[in-house]
Structure 1
Amino acid sequence: MNRIEIDYCTQCRWLLRASWMAQELLTTFADELDEVALKPGRGGVFAIHLNGERLSDRAADGGFPDLPLLKQAIRDRIAPDRDLGHSDARRAPGA
């Protein structure tokens, strides 16, 4: 079972950003994801986990995740042979 959890800060009003990312991930990985959960938090949190593994943390990474890179990280873990089309054109340096 593949589960994405997006922790977002309600004080910062990041629900819209979190829900947009959830929509993008559900659209891209419609057949691979079983669940995408939005988890309200406080204190500036914005973190994304896949099956308990942290993929992104705004505070630790110095900003919000770049969506194509996030999609690549998810794809690499749950569907490594999958082509992401235009999202693959922006591969991280050294990847």
Structure 2
Amino acid sequence: MTHVTIEYCVPCGLLSNAVETQRTLLETHGQRLDGVTLDTGDGGVFEVRVDGATVYDKSEEGYDRDAIVERVGDRLD
């Protein structure tokens, strides 16, 4: 099975984005995931990793929950 980690910037107030992303991933792919964990960070970070490999980095593009869900799904196929 697969594990997803969402690292988000606490000082930037990105917790709500992280929680919404986590919820959407679990609703969409939950039966194929071992879990989705939230890791605190700083410096504007918002990264999503699947089994350690980065599939989304906010510093490279704007926040897009649909794109994140799609990329995680691509890793599961």
| TM-score, L = length of structure 2 | 0.90
Structure-2 separation of matches of 1:49 and 1:62: 15
The reply on whether 1:69 has 2:67 as its aligned counterpart is yes
Residue identity matched to 2:70? Q
1:74 Cα deviation after fit = 1.5
Moved more, 8-17 or 69-78: 69-78
**RMSD, aligned α-carbons:** 1.1
Q: Summarize the alignment of residues 16-95 of structure 1 with structure 2, pairs less than 5 Å apart.
A: 16-59=16-59, 61-64=60-63, 66-78=64-76, 80=77
1:28 Cα deviation after fit = 0.4
Q: Deviations over 1:7-62 (max 9, x none)?
A: 00010011111001000000101210111110001111110000111011111x13
Q: Tell whether the 8 Å contact from 2:48 to 2:68 is kept in structure 1 after alignment.
A: no
1:73 Cα deviation after fit = 1.5
| TM-score, L = length of structure 1 | 0.75
Higher relative contact order (CA 8 A, sep 6+): 2
Unaligned runs of 5+ in 1: 81-95
Question: Which structure's CA Rg is the greater one?
Answer: 1
Unaligned runs of 5+ in 2: none
Residue identity matched to 2:69? K
Greater strand fraction, Structure 1 or Structure 2: 2
% identical equivalent positions: 32
The count of corresponding residues between Structure 1 and Structure 2 is: 77
